């Protein structure tokens, strides 16, 4: 009798062990999340526990510039076993009393992103060349970095406005972006124009087609790289990781359309937004972008492949707005597999709230496979 009991116990132990083994994800997965500042603790606890059990490792949470929000939600996320990062836009800033209207970027037609933003009302980009802008951002990020519950700071909109829009968005904005147009090209503020002149001897305002001038491109890549690296240095002093959501590439997309030379950024993780439908591409393209990213980052910091999820798969075909497109459940396994096989350290979902039951079913398996 005793032998049987021991035997049964052993079998149970083996079973429990193997179940546990099966339930541990092999793919590290982050998720971008927002709009839960007002949710109560019980709802957040339930939500975060679900994400953890599905296989999510950490959250990039956009809670605005409010340290108290990150403190409360961060505590609940940590209790659920999740990493927690504050996801806060960098160059895009709504005007507040802390920001002077003269700090906003100026386009090639001399218009300010403050009162004449490109494409959409919220595209109020600051000029990355202004010391006042750096000081404002430093103060804001360091205040957040003091929150004990945070693992890191996640930059977004750390770039210029899209001088060329991703092709999948042309219809939405009724544009054909066959070249760079001055109304979408930044920054031509006095400081940028003068600094460039001093550096190269060229008056950019007198150049007929600034898009052909390599030095002018590099000048603006460097402005973004410089502000990233300066902010990163300060934030890391507070023992927080620094990560960024970036455009794919960097060479094929990010540098070309938003002037992000992110292979030169001194940060801890890069999360390229491989939103294939915005570029009218399939999941193979996601793999190609991961390969390019890994090759570009010779220092081997981890690349997390950002995946854009379709919130209503059954009506995707009829949906005109690309914001409602994205990966269908039947594409998700491929998208994850393409990412990991091409060198990504993991993935990041945009967003878990857009995931349908069918998406979760595919996800659960896909992040637990051996690649
Ligand atoms: Zn400027």
User: Does pLDDT of 13 surpass 90?
Assistant: no
pLDDT of residue 5: 57
| 164 CA → ligand 1 middle, Å | 19
23: confidence class by pLDDT, cuts 50, 70, 90: confident
330: confidence class by pLDDT, cuts 50, 70, 90: very high
User: What residues sit around ligand 1, an ion, with C-beta below 5 angstroms?
Assistant: 127, 129, 187, 189, 192
11: confidence class by pLDDT, cuts 50, 70, 90: low
pLDDT of residue 362: 98
What are the φ and ψ backbone dihedral angles of 156, each rounded to 5 degrees?
-145, 165
| 202 CA → ligand 1 middle, Å | 16
Question: Peptide bond preceding 369: is omega within 30 degrees of 0, i.e. cis?
Answer: no
Mean pLDDT of 29-46: 98
21: confidence class by pLDDT, cuts 50, 70, 90: very low
Distance CA 190, CA 92 (A): 20
DSSP state of 348: E
| 161 CA → ligand 1 middle, Å | 12
| 107 CA → ligand 1 middle, Å | 9
Q: Where are the alpha helices (DSSP H) in 238-328?
A: 254-258, 283-296
| 208 CA → ligand 1 middle, Å | 19
| 98 CA → ligand 1 middle, Å | 18
How does the average pLDDT of the chain come out, rounded? Answer: 94
Q: How many helices (H) and strands (E) does the chain have?
A: 11, 8
Pairing label, strands 304-308, 269-272: unpaired
b/e burial code for range 137-151 (CB count within 10 A of at least 16 → b):
bbebbbebbebebbb
| 238 CA → ligand 1 middle, Å | 29
pLDDT of residue 18: 46
Contacting residues for 3 by C-beta, under 8 A, at least 6 apart: none
- Residues 250-277 pLDDT 10s: 999 999 999 999 999 999 999 999 999 9
| 297 CA → ligand 1 middle, Å | 28
| 255 CA → ligand 1 middle, Å | 18
What are the φ and ψ backbone dihedral angles of 316, each rounded to 5 degrees?
-55, -40
| 305 CA → ligand 1 middle, Å | 31
Mean pLDDT of 206-210: 96
pLDDT of residue 204: 98
Residue 273, strand partner residues: 306
Mean pLDDT of 31-47: 98
- Residues 84-121 pLDDT 10s: 999 999 999 998 999 999 999 999 999 999 999 999 99
Q: Are the beta carbons of 30 and 57 closer than 8 angstroms?
A: yes
User: Does pLDDT of 9 surpass 60?
Assistant: no
Distance CA 193, CA 165 (A): 24
| 194 CA → ligand 1 middle, Å | 9
Residue with tokens 């993991």: 346
| 80 CA → ligand 1 middle, Å | 43
Of 80, 124, 123, residue with least CA distance to 99: 124
User: Does pLDDT of 349 surpass 50?
Assistant: yes
| 126 CA → ligand 1 middle, Å | 8
- Rounded to 10 deg, the angle between the 131-145 and 67-79 helix axes is 40
CA distances from 60 to 18, 47, 156, 199 (A): 31, 15, 10, 38
| 262 CA → ligand 1 middle, Å | 20
pLDDT of residue 12: 53
pTM: 0.93
b/e burial code for range 267-294 (CB count within 10 A of at least 16 → b):
bbbbbbbbbbbbbebebebbbebbbbbb
Of 273, 235, 268, residue with least CA distance to 254: 273
| 193 CA → ligand 1 middle, Å | 7
153: confidence class by pLDDT, cuts 50, 70, 90: very high
| 212 CA → ligand 1 middle, Å | 19
Burial group, residue 52, by CB count within 10 angstroms (0-12, 13-18, 19+): middle
- Residues 209-264 pLDDT 10s: 999 999 999 999 999 999 999 999 999 999 999 999 999 999 999 999 999 999 99
| 129 CA → ligand 1 middle, Å | 5
299: confidence class by pLDDT, cuts 50, 70, 90: confident
């Amino acid at each position: 009798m005793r032998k049987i009991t021991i035997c049964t116990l052993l079998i149970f132990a083996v079973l429990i062990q193997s179940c546990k083994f099966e339930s541990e994800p092999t793919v590290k997965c982050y998720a971008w999340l927002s709009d839960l500042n007002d949710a109560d603790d019980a709802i957040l606890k339930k939500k975060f526990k679900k994400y953890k059990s599905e296989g999510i490792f950490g959250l990039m949470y956009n809670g605005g510039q409010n340290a108290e929000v990150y403190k409360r939600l961060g505590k609940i996320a940590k209790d659920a076993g999740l990493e927690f990062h504050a996801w806060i836009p960098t160059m895009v800033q709504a005007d507040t009393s802390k920001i002077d209207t003269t700090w906003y970027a100026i386009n090639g037609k001399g218009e300010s992103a403050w009162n004449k933003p490109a494409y959409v009302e919220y595209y109020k980009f600051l000029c990355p060349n202004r010391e006042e802008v750096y000081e404002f951002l430093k103060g804001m990020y360091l205040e957040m970095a003091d929150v004990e519950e945070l693992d890191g700071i996640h930059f977004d909109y750390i770039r210029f406005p899209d001088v060329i829009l991703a092709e999948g968005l042309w219809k939405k904005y009724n544009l054909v972006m066959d070249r760079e147009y001055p109304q979408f090209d930044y920054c031509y503020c006095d400081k940028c124009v003068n600094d460039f002149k001093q550096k190269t001897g060229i008056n950019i305002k007198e150049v007929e087609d600034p898009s052909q001038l390599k030095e002018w491109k590099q000048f603006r890549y460097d402005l973004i790289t410089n502000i990233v690296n300066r902010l990163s240095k300060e934030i890391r002093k507070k023992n927080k990781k620094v990560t960024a959501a970036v455009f794919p590439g960097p060479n094929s997309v990010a540098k070309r359309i938003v002037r992000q030379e992110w292979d030169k950024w001194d940060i801890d993780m890069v999360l390229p937004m491989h939103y294939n439908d915005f570029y009218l591409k399939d999941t193979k393209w996601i793999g190609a972008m991961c390969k390019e990213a890994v090759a570009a980052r010779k220092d081997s910091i981890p690349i997390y492949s950002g995946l854009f999820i379709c919130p209503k798969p059954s009506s995707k075909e009829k949906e005109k707005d690309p914001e409602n497109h994205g990966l269908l459940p039947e594409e998700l396994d491929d998208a994850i597999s393409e990412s990991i096989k091409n060198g990504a350290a993991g993935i990041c979902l945009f967003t878990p709230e857009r995931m349908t039951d069918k998406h979760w079913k595919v996800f659960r398996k896909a992040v637990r496979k051996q690649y």
